[in-house]
A and B are shown apart, each in its own frame.
Chain A
Amino acid sequence: MSEHHHKETFVTKYIFSQDHKMISKQFLVTGMFMGIIAVMMSMLFRLQLAWPEKSFSIIEAFLGPHQTDGVMNPDIYLALVTIHGTIMVFFVLTAGLSGTFSNLLIPLQIGARDMASGFMNMISYWLFFLSSILMVISLFVEAGPASAGWTIYPPLSALPQAIPGSGTGMTLWLVSMSIFIASSLIGALNYIVTVLNLRTKGMKMTRLPLTMWAFFITAIIGVVSFPVLLSAALLLVFDRSFGTSFYLSDIFIAGEVLHYQGGSPVLFEHLFWFLGHPEVYIVLLPALGITSEIISTNSRKPIFGYRAMVMSIMAIAFLSTIVWGHHMFISGMNPFLGSVFTFTTLLIAIPSAVKAFNYITTLWKGNLQLNPAMLFSIGLVSTFVTGGLTGLVLGDSALDIAIHDTYFVVAHFHLVMGVSAIFGMYAGIYHWFPKMYGRMMNKTLGYWHFWVTIICAYGVFWPMHFIGLAGLPRRYYSNTAFPMFDDLADINVVITIFALVGGAAQIIFLANFFISIYRGEKASQNPWNSNTIEWTTPVEHIHGNWPGKIPEVHRWAYDYSKRVDPNDDDSDFLHGQDFVLQTTPLLEGEQPS
């Protein structure tokens, strides 16, 4: 690889870079920017939910034409929840998480100079950037952004007569998401090809760190399911703009019968959730992969049950593509299908339980180094368990009909995929920040950030289960039309306070992140005493990652605290220290783990 000596200009180094490390940082910062927008939106609609009739100058300032005397209008409330969901699920937790860490870690952990195609990788980022810009622009159109929910079910999303956001706002949403999907697909194909073809000598698939397995399988799920969302979006564009009737039929609105005949919104639901459910795992698996790596490193122990972890990632990936119908138990589809989807959905509990138990066993008898990254990983296991368990209620069609689309659902998925994935992302940032910027983040701020965030996360989402069990539907602008929900008002106030404090606590993180980029302590080469080979690269980034030859790999990634006598916990460390880099050859007579 001789190219890494060529001259770089500012533009090729920082803007149109083809280096995976720079692209990863671009994904991260763009994702963070989008995340700030989405979190601020949630703060605004939480204000509305807690104090529905109260006037807020902050709402007046932010929502301009969409508010009356500091109280937001119902249309913009729906727009805020729609865009909050879209940005968090796609722009932050798909592009921000996979885009950042797949790009950063795949070449570094498998031992490659760069991605298989640096050019496609660059295109992937710039398409993501373009789609982010379009999504932000859609916030400023006159009638407001898309507001049919992040699931954009037609006919609501197809008819501007039904809701103003379904005009220009929805068009921009569809264009933005189509570009986003193209970006995801190009990125995912690149990840798959890179993992399959560019592994260094000795890096067998069975020696891949679990992060690699998670990113690899995630990319495969993306390639399988994202194209279906693209076709769903295109058919919706056809219905909206060219008069076709894929999703629409027999509609009377605003005093007239529309011409649409023979389509069905249920078709859209099937297409949407064929991506929509795997999407949950596209978001979650990378976070679980990151957690596996960090928990093992910081416990100074091998991850428990490596093979079982790989198998459960695969099982989850496979099952995730055949459970989409559990979002549609009450859509009017044949009840027999409901039975099938209940069965497949509850099966996912088995590999998920294996993962949770394996994490806990990894902690057992460890020597836990409680760095901020480790705390976020432990937090992830906690929220993943809490949120996952309520999935047993919702996945059961007979129970789902009673609480479908209530706040119980909101609490469930925020914990299991929202908070868990965000925790995985934070853990990854704290852990690999030295690899990204050559400096360390401050741990005291990291601790503050973690404890305030987890307390607030549970403060928001634990009580939310109960207002769901009281029958409160989600996406209600206010609950004042129903006296039966009056006794939930106080709980909503508590939730909002936790949400606002939790949101404000992210300022601690942002400050830590940006100050550390410039003023953080210089990182050593392997600050966490980790085994994986990204820590054998120099601290300063160079094009091509390793100055000389790419190192050869001789063992798996989890030889932490390996002993002279494997059966004697008191015996000395086999290699004189509690970690063994993957590049270390086996000693004479050493058994591979």
Chain B
Amino acid sequence: MLALFYIFIGVAIGVSFWQITRILDLRGVVANDEDNAKQGKYAIYFMVFFYAIMIYCLIAMNVIMLPESASIEGEHDDRLFNITFWLIGIVQFIMQFLIFYFTFKYRGNKNRKAKFYADSHKLELIWTVTPAIVLVGLIGYGLWQWNNVMDLSDEDAILIEVYSQQFRWDARYAGNDNTLGLGNVNYIKGINTMGVDMKDVNSQDDKQVTELYLPKGKKIHFKFRSQDVLHSAYMPHFRAQMNCVPGMVTEFGFTPKYTTEEMRQQPEVIAKTKGINKIRSAKGEDLYEFDYLLLCNKICGASHYSMQMKITVVEPEVYDKWIAEQPTLAAVIK
């Protein structure tokens, strides 16, 4: 691949110098009919090339894209995305065709006379009103879905605090009372790395962990805090993201739809995993297995690119057993 790149560079520099020497004869500054004919043709060639890479990418890159939403709230995201994508895809194909086809079709020559056509209220009305109507639909669906994902009114949701710092994630489950104890950076000391106020009664049964376990089919209510700079908790498989802001608590929620095991059996995930493992085994690296991840998605410093936390979605019974095994803060922090 590298050799190819050097060749490209070499060719580009060669061509430019060859052309620079040609400039010295100083001819050719305004396009003539011959240029118009040639450039018009190139516009068509370019259009073919452009459509080829557009279509190729749309088909070939399907396999690398994120699999179907793993949260119930994200289903509508996927649907809205598909509707929007089809719509803009169709518009894109038509508009690009018109742009480059007209460039070719109406390429200038001495015998052609341009049409004097300065205005048409009817046409302009059409292309003002049509986008407006389409947008009303998109905005309507989008806003409905936005209210849907931002709805955190479910009282029974499992409350989890996600805590960020350069360059790691921690999490705290609210315990049996499902209420998080207060937290502030002033309480950070020793093993109390999340700065939990241990005088608060609600803190006693909280449980601090380094990996998230979530039960399938239950609404999870996340609260986010940051200790130093902005971070962003990005959970792409769940179509979820929220910034972690020092000095304030932000919130987000979703309901996991598939366990990690179920997700691994999905055809899309199997295909993507296969592709990744082909690359990894060629390089002699360990094989990859699908896991949900929480990534940092707001520039936060040198190791931003590796800041992550594993998320495991399990059946509710497994989750109950797991959470019971975790020690409470009261037991850990004396």
Contact = CB atoms under 8 A, between A and B. Distances in A.
A486 B118 contact: no
A515 B308 CA distance: 52
- Chain A interface extent, by class: 35 or more
Interface string B168-188: 000000000000000011101
Contacts of A440: 29-30
A489 interface: yes
Contacts of B108: 300, 366-370
A465 B81 CA distance: 14
Contact of B280 (A357, A367, A483): A483
Contact of B46 (A153, A249, A381, A454): A454
B264 interface: no
A477 B302 CA distance: 8
Interface in A122-149: 148-149
Given A382-B99, A445-B19, A512-B23, A74 B302 contact: yes
Contacts of B95: 356, 360, 385
Interface stretch (A199-207, A214-222, A496-504): A496-504
B102 to A, nearest CB: 4
A390 B54 CA distance: 14
Contact of A393 (B66, B85, B295): B85
A304 B117 contact: yes
A156 B119 contact: no
A370 B36 contact: yes
B1 A445 contact: no
B125 to A, nearest CB: 10
A393 B84 contact: yes
B306 to A, nearest CB: 4
Nearest to B130: A353
Contacts of A458: 50, 53
B201 interface: no
A295 B84 CA distance: 30
A471 B246 contact: no
B149 interface: yes
A248 B247 contact: yes
B19 A305 contact: no
Contacts of A515: 20, 23
Interface string A37-61: 0000000000000010010000000
Contact of B13 (A392, A393, A484, A507): A507
Contacts of A16: none
B191 interface: no
A117 interface: no
Interface string B81-113: 100110110011001101110110011110011
A156 B246 CA distance: 11
Interface stretch (B213-221, B228-236, B316-324, B326-334): B228-236
A322 interface: no
A392 B136 CA distance: 12
A525 B296 CA distance: 58
Contacts of A382: 96, 99-100
B71 to A, nearest CB: 10
B293 A78 contact: no
Contacts of A29: none
A399 B79 CA distance: 10
Contact of A353 (B43, B131, B237, B308): B131
A238 interface: no
A463 B61 contact: yes
17 contacts: A248-B247, A251-B185, A265-B245, A342-B142, A361-B123, A363-B102, A401-B242, A402-B236, A445-B23, A455-B49, A458-B50, A466-B61, A473-B234, A487-B275, A520-B29, A521-B27, A578-B113
Interchain residue pairs A-B with the least CB separation, the first 7: A249-B247, A481-B306, A471-B236, A332-B250, A440-B29, A370-B39, A335-B150
